[in-house]
């Protein structure tokens, strides 16, 4: 039976590998001056997996935390959405294995390959599933990018880390926050700016400057769209949680959206850029700061070119 149900985020979770890699290690490898990476990107460190660690292992840790935080029975989860660009295998999808590791074998499970915007795509789809079916949805965004970067290419080697973030959406009006506005976009004319070509394993960045400019443009436009949809002024935003691609990117977006540094999440300094995982990771890390009535703006852009934004309203 389907109908219209309320939908709220009732749990957050996150996970990173044990190995923390500081800038000094990477700067020494490239022979660049101390402090260069942080000045250019805002990153001080990132986390990289060791041999033997898998994407679904990392995703499962974040998923378990979100489920525990939600206090929800496994039988209540109707769907698992895994936003990742680095699955354990190209076929079969990794989401069913993730669901199995979490004891959610009766739930549906599917991968979403939305690059850095993948969590926002999963959030909007998950919210729709909850509202139509009245079953909870576990969303996990996770990436192991340390195995996909070219360690000899400075542009990618300094940026990327491994992490997972998760949320539980449920048919409830008493969760932490609810989705009140969203937009999703794509622009295939910039399809080849960053990617992993078919048959290859390492990421390439063709034009970093153009990617920078397009990311700022897309994130700003999407952010403005979701605010305009519900007639919310930028000065009403309590928390700005952008995709943590590069501090210079999201600072430029915040400036164009007229958002202050005080409301902007900055998890990139310790965790680097983990693509789709950065927003749910930031939400989980900042969860204790959210109060009833707060508005949280999320926005992202990434390879594809994919983009999106979402506005959350804190309900409890």
Q: Which of 33, 34, 26 lies closest to 146, judged by CA?
A: 26
Active site residues: 116, 243, 273
Report whether the peptide linkage leading into residue 92 is cis, meaning its omega lies within 30 degrees of zero: yes
Instruction: Decide: 89 and 54 in contact? Cβ < 8 Å.
Output: no
Which tokens is 302 given? 């990434």
Q: Report phi then psi at 58, rounded to 5.
A: -65, -45
Which tokens is 177 given? 């926050």
Q: Report phi then psi at 21, rounded to 5.
A: -110, 115
Q: Which of 154, 162, 90, 167 lies closest to 125, judged by CA?
A: 167
DSSP state of 147: G
DSSP for 155-187 reads HHHTTB-EEEEEEEEES-SSSSEEEEEEEEEE-
Rounded to a whole number, what is the largest CA-CA distance in the chain? 62
Burial class (CB in 10 A: 0-12, 13-18, 19+), 268: buried
Q: Which of 181, 179, 153, 150 lies closest to 167, judged by CA?
A: 179
Distance of CA 305 to the CA centre of its chain: 15
Instruction: Decide: 45 and 22 in contact? Cβ < 8 Å.
Output: yes
């Amino acid at each position: 039976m389907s109908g219209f149900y309320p939908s709220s985020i009732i749990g957050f979770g996150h996970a990173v590998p044990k190995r923390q890699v500081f800038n000094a290690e990477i700067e020494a490898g490239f022979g660049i001056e101390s402090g260069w990476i942080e000045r250019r990107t805002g990153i001080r460190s990132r986390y990289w997996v060791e041999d033997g660690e898998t994407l679904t292992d990392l995703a499962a840790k974040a998923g378990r935390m979100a489920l525990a935080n939600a206090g929800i029975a496994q039988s209540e989860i109707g769907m698992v959405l895994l936003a990742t660009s680095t699955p354990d295998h190209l076929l079969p999808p990794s989401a069913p294995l993730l669901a199995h590791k979490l004891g959610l074998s009766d739930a549906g499970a599917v991968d979403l390959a939305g690059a850095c915007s993948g969590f926002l795509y999963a959030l909007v789809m998950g919210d729709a599933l909850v509202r139509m079916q009245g079953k909870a949805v576990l969303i996990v965004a996770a990436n192991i990018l340390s195995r996909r970067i070219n360690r000899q290419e400075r542009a990618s080697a300094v940026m990327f880390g491994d992490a997972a973030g998760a949320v539980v959406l449920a048919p409830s009006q008493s969760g932490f926050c609810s989705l009140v506005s969203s937009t999703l976009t794509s622009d295939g004319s910039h399809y080849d700016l960053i990617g992993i070509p078919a048959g290859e394993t390492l990421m390439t960045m063709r034009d970093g400057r153009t990617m920078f400019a397009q990311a700022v443009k897309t994130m700003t436009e999407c952010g403005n769209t979701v605010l305009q949809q519900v007639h919310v002024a930028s000065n009403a935003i309590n928390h700005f949680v952008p995709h943590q691609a590069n501090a210079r990117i999201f600072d430029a977006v915040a400036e164009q959206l007229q958002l202050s540094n005080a409301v902007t999440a900055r998890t990139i300094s310790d965790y680097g850029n983990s693509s789709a995982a950065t927003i749910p990771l930031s939400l989980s890390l900042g969860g204790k700061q959210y109060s009833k009535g707060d508005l949280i703006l999320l926005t992202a852009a990434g390879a594809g070119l994919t983009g999106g934004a979402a506005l959350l309203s804190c309900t409890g």
